[in-house]
Structure 1
Amino acid sequence: MFAAYLTVTIIASVFTGIAAVTYLIGHDYPKTQADMKRIPRSWVPVLGVLLAAGSSGLLAGFAVPLLGALAAGGLVLYFVGALLAHLRVGSRQLVGGAVFLVTAVAALAVNLSYHFG
């Protein structure tokens, strides 16, 4: 079980960490996504910080299991919100967000089952 917990948590942390970097360095993709979802571009760095906090929290969960569970739960909420933002504007480009959501759900599930199950 530890191998699954370790693998899924690291994959989820890397995915969200890479997304956080693209949001924080001012890459065009997050800006065009914000425009498409009709959210202010000023939110892009804030969203990047939330992703970075989630990514870091997943890794911190190796030392403090509750922190990892809370970070994974926060990422699940983040990606549910992202998918809802897509649906709100009629976008059907849901695959990327769904992959991130499934990864966050998996990280939450393995964390809870390994530490608290």
Structure 2
Amino acid sequence: MEFTIFTAYVAATVLTAVANAGIATLDFIHHKQVLENMAQVDVPESWLPVLGTLKAAGAVGLLVGIIVPPIGTAAAVGLTIFYIGAIITHLRAREYTIAPATAYLLLAVVTLAQEWPHKPSHGIRTLQSLKER
């Protein structure tokens, strides 16, 4: 298989989606480390379902975006904003262990940056257009 920019885009998208689905799952099961991190930055545990849902929606949106690019772009923008907010929340609480949030932010930004060259003018990729890549 020939390595193309589209292949890199799909790989980055899938990696970002899987990473966000994983962290969303930890939110949904109220994982101990997630709870500890939230307590350190004064985010109430009651926010976990919302935070997990946002991450999961971003993951699904990225995958759907492989076929419907505007949805992928919206998901990547949403995740980028989400993780910028997470970093700000940590810094405001004077909690400087921001490496995980920064890693997720970088994944979202890389995915967003790769969205732009793959947008067909009509906004939806056909199966034929995917095969041609």
TM-based fold match above 0.5: yes
TM-aligned CA deviation for residue 113 of structure 1:
2.4
Count of residues in Structure 1 that have an aligned counterpart in Structure 2:
117
Q: Is it true that 1:109 corresponds to 2:113 in the alignment?
A: yes
What letter is aligned with 1:16? N
CA distance in 2, matches of 1:93, 1:112: 31
Unmatched 5+ stretches in structure 2: 121-133
Q: Contact 2:69/2:118 (CA < 8 Å) preserved in 1?
A: no
User: 1:5·1:107 contact (CA, 8 Å) conserved in 2?
Assistant: yes
Contact 1:8 1:103 in 2 (8 A): yes
**2:93 aligned with 1:89:** yes
The CA deviation at 1:37 is: 0.8
How far, CA to CA, are the matches of 1:112 and 1:30 in structure 2? 33
Q: 2:65 aligns with which of 61, 76, 79?
A: 61
Partner AA of 1:61 in structure 2: G
Rounded to whole Å, the distance in 2 between the matches of 1:50 and 1:84 is: 17
Are residues 1:29 and 2:33 paired? Answer: yes
Identity among equivalent pairs (%)? 34
* 1:4-23 equivalent positions in 2, closer than 5 A: 4-23=8-27
CA contact (8 A) 2:23 2:52 kept: yes
Inter-partner Cα distance in structure 1 for 2:40 and 2:58? 24
Between stretches 36-45 and 65-74, larger displacement belongs to 36-45
Deviation, structure 1 residue 101? 0.4
SS of match in other structure, 1:68 = helix
What do the CA deviations read for 1:19-71 (whole angstroms, capped 9, x no partner)?
A: 00000112112211111110111001110000000000000101211000000
- Asked if 1:43 corresponds to 2:42, the answer is no
Instruction: For structure 1, list consecutive stretches of 5 or more residues without a partner in the other structure.
Output: none
- Aligned equivalents of 1:67 and 1:55: distance in 2? 11
Considering fraction of residues, name the structure with more helix.
1
Q: Considering only CA atoms, is the larger Rg found in Structure 1 or Structure 2?
A: 2
Provide the aligned C-alpha RMSD in A.
1.3
